């Protein structure tokens, strides 16, 4: 787990999610693996219903789950993409100062850090908001282990000014 804002916001992996007390933290899961688990879906018997209002995002009190995958094709980012990013930042705003917030993806290297980078630039004013490139340089000082996937990085670069 990498602390992004002391005692307030961290980036982590599925292992970090499994190690925290969900009653004491707010959690933003940015991975299909956990989203499927929360929704009770699998790839064989109980396949996801793409018409479900929670197919892409599920929010329940201090838990938000986003059905995102790291892939070369950013199709899940394009599907209500900007709205989903804004909703994720709103979720962090909602819990900031009330509980520690863990933003995680499978390995804690791509989707979760990208959400936290956006939060620092767009909402917290802790890093540059001028461009994706400027924010990425600033964020590398905080989390040098970030390895954004091509799909999420490409989406964020193309929609930097739209995500607020």
Confidence of residue 59 (pLDDT cuts 50, 70, 90): very high
pLDDT band at 51 (very low <50, low <70, confident <90, very high): confident
pLDDT of residue 150: 87
How much of the chain, in percent, has pLDDT values that exceed 90?
Answer: 81
Q: Name residues whose C-beta falls within 8 Å of residue 58's C-beta, 6 or more positions apart in sequence.
A: 35, 38, 39, 64, 65
List, as one string, the DSSP characters of 97-149: TTSEEEEE-SSSSSHHHHHHHHHIIIII-SS--S-HHHHHHHHHHH-TT----
Q: Under DSSP, is residue 57 helix (H, G, I), strand (E, B) or coil?
A: strand
Give the pLDDT of residue 76. 58
Tell me what pLDDT residue 129 has. 98
The whole-number average pLDDT for the span 69-90 is: 83
Contact 55, 84 (CB under 8 A): no
Contact partners, residue 35, CB within 8 Å, separation at least 6: 29, 58, 65, 66, 67, 68
Query: What are the chain's domains?
Result: 2-158 (3.90.190.10)
Residue 141, token pair as written in the block: 């000082």
């Amino acid at each position: 787990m990498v602390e992004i804002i002391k005692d307030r916001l961290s980036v982590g992996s599925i292992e970090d999610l499994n190690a925290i007390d969900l009653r004491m933290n707010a959690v933003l899961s940015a991975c299909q693996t956990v989203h499927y688990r929360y929704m009770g879906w699998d790839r064989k018997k109980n396949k996801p219903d793409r018409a479900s209002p929670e197919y892409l995002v599920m929010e329940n009190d201090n838990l938000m789950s986003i059905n995102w995958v790291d892939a070369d094709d950013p199709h899940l980012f394009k599907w209500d993409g900007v709205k989903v990013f804004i909703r994720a930042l709103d979720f962090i705003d909602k819990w900031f100062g009330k509980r520690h917030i863990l933003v995680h993806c499978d390995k804690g290297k791509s989707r979760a850090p990208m959400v936290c980078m956006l939060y620092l630039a767009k909402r917290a004013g802790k890093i540059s908001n001028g461009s994706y490139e400027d924010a990425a340089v600033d964020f590398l000082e905080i989390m040098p282990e970030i390895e954004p996937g091509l799909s999420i990085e490409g989406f964020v670069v193309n929609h930097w000014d739209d995500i607020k």
